[in-house]
Amino acid sequence: MDEVFVRAMEFVKLLKQWVLEAKTRCHETESPEECCEAAEQLIKLIEKFERLMKLRWGVKI
């Protein structure tokens, strides 16, 4: 596998962890529902980016 792909996938993993951790703290915000919705949208976008990366590098999903 290409080193760039490996680094990008590691970055994606870190992003997912960060968003999931931030989502667990949504109850501490002024608008927990809005926070959770934003976190879910970020997770979906990250997963979409991950799929595109895998398609670009020909990795089976």
Lowest model confidence (mean pLDDT) among 1-10, 18-27, 35-44: 1-10
What pLDDT score does 45 carry?
95
Segment 11-22 shows an average pLDDT of 94
pLDDT tens readout for residues 45-54: 999 999 998 8
Answer yes or no: is pLDDT of 61 > 60: no
Contacts 24+ apart (CB under 8 A), 15-21: 15/42, 15/46, 16/43, 16/46, 19/43, 19/46
Whether the full predicted model's pTM is greater than 0.85, yes or no, is no
Select from 14, 12, 22, 11 the least CA-distant residue to 50. Answer: 12
